């Protein structure tokens, strides 16, 4: 059984970890850890599952995840390369007294936002990417200085988007294995109809038991989970292809234009045609 709690290895001469994880070490199961995580995607693209958030990730994206936020970066294609520079640190590794200093208030506030995951945007993302790349090869006090500079820039910037504030539950290894099975099955079959009876059957649960189990762990209903995967797929096709919107509807797991249009607007807050117009610019 795979476990949800991941143990982060820190070298003896370091107080926090910073290293590149590249295929096959980039591929991890649905997991969480006690450390905060600052992650720069350096290769590949796919779907990020972070708390109750489902969205795309691509090269250059940066996410900051607070302690114990469950997450999983799933590659779009099984045979592509995935790679990221990842910083893991305990939010009190420098001592709580240090965080209490007046000068540290912005960083202390950032680290106090429990259960939060954010995505960096715009110029902030570019600035932090440069610092992360320096930090990966730095030694001594330079490592701590670069981490402090990164966190200070994040805490003082508005160029960020909160993507999840979902609280985390501590699942046991058996439950976490079931979650992985459900997510894996869903990504393989989301273009076809998936009934609650069908998905509950692969977990050996009744439909009501499965619905309670899934919502407790993923913080949303299974119906909403599948809807967000399908609309995310449609968004990618709208941005990256010239296929007709009706064709994209039928190639995103929907057999009704009315239902597709309605669900797209629920998830994206705009219509499919408005989305394409925005992103084609």
Q: What is the mean pLDDT of residues 103-119?
A: 91
How far apart are alpha carbons 156 and 106 in whole angstroms? Answer: 7
Taking only the tens place, the pLDDT of each residue in 178-216 is 888 999 899 999 999 999 999 999 999 999 999 999 998
Domains of the chain: 17-164 (2.60.120.280), 173-280 (1.10.10.60)
Section 262-275 average pLDDT = 94
Query: How many other CB atoms are there within 10 angstroms of residue 260's CB atom?
Result: 22
- Residue 158 above 80 pLDDT? yes
| pTM confidence score | 0.83
Mean pLDDT computed over every residue of the chain? 90
What is the per-residue pLDDT for 161? 94
What is the tens place of the pLDDT at every residue in 41-97?
999 999 999 988 999 999 999 999 999 898 999 998 888 999 999 999 998 888 878
Q: Answer yes or no: is pLDDT of 172 > 70.
A: no
The neighbouring-strand residues paired with 75 are 46
Query: Minimal CA–CA distance to 238: which of 202, 278, 201?
Result: 278
């Amino acid at each position: 059984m795979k476990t949800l709690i991941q143990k982060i290895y820190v070298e003896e001469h370091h107080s926090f970890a910073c290293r590149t994880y590249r295929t096959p070490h980039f591929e991890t199961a649905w997991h969480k850890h006690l450390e905060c995580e600052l992650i720069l995607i350096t290769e590949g693209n796919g779907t990020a599952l972070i708390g109750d958030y489902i969205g795309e990730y691509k090269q250059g994206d940066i996410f900051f995840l607070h302690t114990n936020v469950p997450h999983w970066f799933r590659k779009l294609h099984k045979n592509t390369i995935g790679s990221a520079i990842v910083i893991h640190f305990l939010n009190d590794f420098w001592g709580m007294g240090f965080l209490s200093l007046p000068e540290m208030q912005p960083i202390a506030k950032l680290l106090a936002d429990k259960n939060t995951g954010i995505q960096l945007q715009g110029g902030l993302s570019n600035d932090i990417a440069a610092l992360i790349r320096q930090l990966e090869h730095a030694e001594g006090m330079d490592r701590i200085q670069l981490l402090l500079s990164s966190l200070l820039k994040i805490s003082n910037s508005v160029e960020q988007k909160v993507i999840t504030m979902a609280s985390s539950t501590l699942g046991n290894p058996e439950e976490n294995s079931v979650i992985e099975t459900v997510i894996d099955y869903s990504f393989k079959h989301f273009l076809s109809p998936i009934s609650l009876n069908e998905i509950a059957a692969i977990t050996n649960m009744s439909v009501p038991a499965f619905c309670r189990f899934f919502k407790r762990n993923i913080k949303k209903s299974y119906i909403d989970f599948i809807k967000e995967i399908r609309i995310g797929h449609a968004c990618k096709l709208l941005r990256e292809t010239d296929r007709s919107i009706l064709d994209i509807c039928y190639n995103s797991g929907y057999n009704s234009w009315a239902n597709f249009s309605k669900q797209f607007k629920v998830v994206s807050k705009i219509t499919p045609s408005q989305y394409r117009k925005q992103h084609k610019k």
